[in-house]
């Protein structure tokens, strides 16, 4: 650009800053940022957001706050995206006092939380196993006119299943459908895993079949545990059917696990049933 006579503007500089940080050339990014402050174009809120976001990812919150204060001192007003970066960073450190202070400050300065901000706070709550608090933020999100994403529901649902609150985990699944949000692969994986942990293997089997019928990939589950729990119900036919569906879908390893357990169940049932002794099959 320079050789061709073009003068890189603030957009080009911001792209360069972001690229350097993505390539882990932090020292070069800092040098470029200092050159911008000395020779122009002066960093804008996007420039500071790029630098602060990288610091937050590295949990260098003191440095992130220094950049934030420097920006404000230079007369550059923060926006919702920048506040969300800081909120996410302090959330990773479980500094909820700072999170609440920043939420209050951004509202006071006329920058109300947006969908990303709400999801960032919900992620913090769920990562700390506080799903009831996450639900309160979710309701505030709805009241503020923002539509939750499938990720919003998945985070809350998983958090409830982690603390073994099946009823609320199921309620989130139902709420997701009620709001017209179609479950994705991760939704099914979280829900089915929650069902299995609650020893609801029959119900889990139903949703596994539903996933396969929709053409989704089989979730990463402990299928040996799933089949072992399911075998207590003593119905090998359903496991056989599921194994066949998995085979048709190309999930051969999972199919083999389920088929092996179905076979063991049939043999076990045969040993327990004396009327089966000596019976011939043709």
Whether 47 is covered by a domain: the verdict is yes
pLDDT for position 195: 87
Task: Look at the chain and count its residues.
Answer: 282
pLDDT for position 257: 81
Whether 82 is covered by a domain: the verdict is yes
Q: In the chain, where do the E strands start and end?
A: none
Is the per-residue pLDDT at 270 higher than 80?
A: no
- Can you give the pTM of this predicted structure? 0.78
Q: Which two tokens stand for residue 49?
A: 């957001």
pLDDT for position 108: 92
Residue 69 has a CB neighbour count (10 Å cut-off) of 10
pLDDT in tens, 48-94: 999 999 999 999 999 999 999 999 999 999 999 999 999 999 998 88
pLDDT in tens, 115-127: 999 999 999 999 9
Q: What distance lies between CA 253 and its chain's CA centroid?
A: 27
CB 146 within 8 A of CB 109: no
Whether 236 is covered by a domain: the verdict is no
pLDDT for position 280: 36
* Residue that has been written with the tokens 């706070």 in this structure: 121
pLDDT in tens, 168-203: 999 999 999 999 999 999 999 899 888 888 878 778
Which CATH number do you get for residue 93? 1.25.40.10
pLDDT for position 16: 97
pLDDT for position 163: 93
Dist. CA 12–CA 3, nearest whole Å: 15
Whether 170 is covered by a domain: the verdict is no
Best CA proximity match to 226, nearest among 244, 208, 248 = 208
DSSP assignment of 134-180: HHHHHHHHHHTTPPPPHHHHHHHHHHHHHTT-HHHHHHHHHHHHHTT
pLDDT for position 278: 42
CB 204 within 8 A of CB 185: no
pLDDT in tens, 15-60: 999 999 999 999 999 999 999 999 999 999 999 999 999 999 999 9
- Where on the phi/psi map is residue 145: left (φ > 0), alpha (ψ -120 to 50), or beta? left
* b/e per residue 204-227 (b: at least 16 CB within 10 A): bbebbeebbeeebebbeeebeebb
pLDDT for position 234: 58
Is the per-residue pLDDT at 276 higher than 50?
A: no
pLDDT in tens, 143-155: 999 999 999 999 9
Dist. CA 133–CA 113, nearest whole Å: 17
Whether 248 is covered by a domain: the verdict is no
The domain of 47 spans 1-115
Whether 144 is covered by a domain: the verdict is no
Which helix (DSSP H) or strand (DSSP E) does residue 227 occupy? helix 223-231
What is the number of domains present in the chain?
1
Whether 131 is covered by a domain: the verdict is no
CB 68 within 8 A of CB 52: yes
Dist. CA 132–CA 127, nearest whole Å: 12
* Residue that has been written with the tokens 């309701």 in this structure: 139
Dist. CA 72–CA 41, nearest whole Å: 17
Whether 53 is covered by a domain: the verdict is yes
pLDDT for position 84: 95
């Amino acid at each position: 650009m320079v050789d061709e006579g073009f003068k890189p503007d603030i957009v080009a500089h911001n792209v360069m800053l972001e690229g350097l940080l993505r390539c882990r050339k932090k020292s070069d990014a800092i040098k470029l940022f200092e050159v911008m402050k000395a020779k122009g174009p002066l960093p804008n809120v996007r420039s500071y957001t790029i630098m602060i976001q990288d610091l937050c990812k590295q949990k260098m919150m003191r440095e992130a706050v220094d950049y934030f204060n420097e920006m404000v001192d230079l007369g550059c007003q923060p926006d919702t995206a920048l506040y969300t970066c800081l909120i996410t960073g302090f959330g990773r450190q479980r500094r909820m006092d700072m999170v609440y202070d920043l939420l209050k400050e951004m509202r006071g300065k006329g920058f109300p939380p947006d969908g990303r901000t709400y999801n960032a706070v919900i992620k913090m709550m769920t990562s700390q196993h506080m799903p009831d608090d996450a639900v309160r933020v979710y309701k505030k999100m709805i009241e503020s006119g923002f539509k939750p994403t499938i990720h919003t529901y998945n985070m809350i649902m998983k958090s409830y299943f982690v603390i073994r609150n099946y009823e609320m985990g199921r309620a989130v699944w139902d709420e997701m459908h009620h709001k017209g949000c179609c479950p994705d692969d991760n939704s099914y994986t979280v829900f089915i895993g929650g069902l299995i942990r609650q020893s609801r293997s029959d119900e889990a089997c139903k949703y596994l079949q539903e996933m396969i019928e929709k053409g989704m990939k089989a979730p990463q589950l402990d299928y040996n545990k799933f089949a072992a729990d399911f075998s207590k119900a003593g119905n090998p036919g359903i496991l056989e059917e599921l194994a066949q569906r998995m085979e048709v879908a190309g999930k051969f390893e999972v199919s083999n696990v389920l088929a092996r357990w179905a076979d063991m169940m049939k043999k076990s049932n045969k040993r327990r049933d004396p009327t089966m002794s000596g019976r011939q099959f043709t």
